[in-house]
Amino acid sequence: MFSHIKDLQYNAKPSQPDPVYAKKLQEILGGQFGEISVMMQYLFQGWNCRGNSKYRDMLLDIGTEEIAHVEMIATMIAQLLEGAPAHDQDQAAQDPVVEAVLGGMNPQHAVVNGLGAQPNDSAGYPWNARYTIASGNLLADFRANLNAESQGRLQAVRLYEMTTDPGVRDMLSFLIARDKMHQNQWMAAIEELEQMEGAVVPNTFSPDHERQDVAYTFMNFSEGEESSQGRWAQGSSMDGKGTFSYVQNPDAVGQKPELAPAPAFIHGTLPFTPSKDDDPQL
C-alpha cells in the first residue's frame, strides 16, 4: 500500500515561467530513461522478487523514491508553464520577444494538459512500458538499472547546462546527486551478486551446452586491428573461467542457406528455372 504526503521530497519551484524548457524537461519525466521508467522498473522488479527479502525491500525503497521524483518533475513542469497562456503564442508574429520565449512551447501542454505535465518524452512520444526491464534475474536486472541511472544522470546534467534558472538548477542538483547514489547502489548490489553467482548471466546454465572453443574468443569483423589491444582480447576472462583470445578476420563456417519453395497456398514467387538463354548448356 502506498500513502501520499503533501510535501515534496525536495523543492521543485522555478524562478520564472519557461514553457520551452518545460518541453525539454519532459525527457527526464516520460522519456526512455526518465523517472517514470525507473519508477516502474524498480517497483516491478521488487514485486516480482522471489526469495530475496533484502533485495525486494531495497527495490521497493528506491522504486517508491522514484514516485517522489516523478511528482517533483511534474510539479516543476506545471510551474514552468504558469503565466504562459496559449493565446500569447498568437502574438508571436507581432512580438519577437514572445516568439523567442514561446516559439518552442509544446502545444499539447496547453491544448491537452491544461498547462500541466504529461507522461511523454520531450518529442511528445508517449511513455512506453517496454522501456522497463524486470526479468526475474537480479544480476541482469541490476545491470539494466545501472545503465538507466547512468543515462538518466547524463540527461539531467545536460538539462542543468541548458538553464540558468536557480530554482530549476536547485531541483536538478538534488536529482543528479540521487542518480549518483543510485549508480553506486546498483554497483554495490552487482558486486555482491557477482561474488555469489559469478559475472556471467545466467550462472545456472551448464557449460556442457556451450561451444567452449568460441566462449572466450574476440572476433574482429571490421577493418583495423586496434581492438586487439583491449582487455577483452587478451589475458584471463572476467569470469575467471577462461582466457581471452583474438581472431582477425574469422572464417565463416556455417552452411549456405537454401530455402525450399513455399507451398502453393502461400502464393509466393515461383522458383527461378534457368532457360537456354540463361545457360547455353541446357
Q: State pLDDT tens for residues 79-91.
A: 999 876 555 555 5
pLDDT of residue 274: 75
Question: Residue range 238-258: average pLDDT?
Answer: 94
Percent of the chain with pLDDT over 90: 79
Q: Would you say 157 and 50 are in contact if contact means Cβ atoms under 8 Å apart?
A: no
Of 2-6, 155-159, 190-194, 269-273, least confident by mean pLDDT is 269-273
Alpha helices, H only, the chain: 19-25, 27-30, 35-47, 53-80, 96-102, 107-111, 138-161, 166-197
Q: Would you say 58 and 189 are in contact if contact means Cβ atoms under 8 Å apart?
A: yes
Q: Would you say 262 and 233 are in contact if contact means Cβ atoms under 8 Å apart?
A: no
Collect all residues with Cβ–Cβ distance below 8 Å to 37 and sequence separation of at least 6: 31, 127, 131, 132, 148
Q: 70: burial class by Cβ within 10 Å (0-12, 13-18, 19+)? A: buried
Sign, Cα dihedral of 88, 71, 183, 147: negative
Please indicate if the annotation marks 66 as binding a ligand.
Answer: yes
The DSSP symbol for 266 reads: G
Q: Would you say 55 and 138 are in contact if contact means Cβ atoms under 8 Å apart?
A: yes
Please indicate if the annotation marks 57 as binding a ligand.
Answer: yes
Q: Residue 38: is its pLDDT beyond 90?
A: yes
pTM for the full predicted model: 0.87
Q: Residue 161: is its pLDDT beyond 80?
A: yes
Please indicate if the annotation marks 35 as binding a ligand.
Answer: yes
In whole numbers, what is the pLDDT of the chain averaged over residues? 91
Question: What structural domains and CATH numbers belong to the chain?
Answer: 19-197 (1.20.1260.10), 207-248 (no CATH)
pLDDT of residue 114: 86
pLDDT of residue 102: 57
Q: Residue 269: is its pLDDT beyond 70?
A: yes
Please indicate if the annotation marks 69 as binding a ligand.
Answer: yes
Please indicate if the annotation marks 277 as binding a ligand.
Answer: no
What is the pLDDT confidence band of residue 245, given thresholds at 50, 70 and 90?
Answer: very high
Q: Residue 227: is its pLDDT beyond 60?
A: yes
Please indicate if the annotation marks 220 as binding a ligand.
Answer: yes
The residues pairing with 218 across neighbouring beta strands, listed in sequence order, are 246
CA nearest to 108, candidates 22, 47, 28, 216: 22
What is the pLDDT confidence band of residue 112, given thresholds at 50, 70 and 90?
Answer: confident
Whether the bond between 202 and the residue before it is cis, its omega within 30 degrees of 0, is yes
DSSP-derived 3-state class of residue 247: strand
Question: Residue range 139-166: average pLDDT?
Answer: 98
Collect all residues with Cβ–Cβ distance below 8 Å to 222 and sequence separation of at least 6: none
Q: Would you say 83 and 105 are in contact if contact means Cβ atoms under 8 Å apart?
A: no
CA nearest to 144, candidates 155, 156, 130: 130
Cβ neighbour number for residue 246 with a 10 Å cutoff: 17
- Contacts for 3-12: CB closer than 8 Å, 24+ residues apart: 8/68, 8/71, 8/72, 8/75, 9/65, 9/68, 9/69, 9/71, 9/72, 10/72, 10/171, 10/174, 11/167, 11/170, 11/171, 11/174, 12/72, 12/73, 12/75, 12/76, 12/79, 12/171
Q: Residue 129: is its pLDDT beyond 90?
A: yes
What is the pLDDT confidence band of residue 94, given thresholds at 50, 70 and 90?
Answer: low
Please indicate if the annotation marks 149 as binding a ligand.
Answer: yes
Q: Residue 282: is its pLDDT beyond 90?
A: no
Q: Would you say 100 and 93 are in contact if contact means Cβ atoms under 8 Å apart?
A: no
pLDDT of residue 190: 98
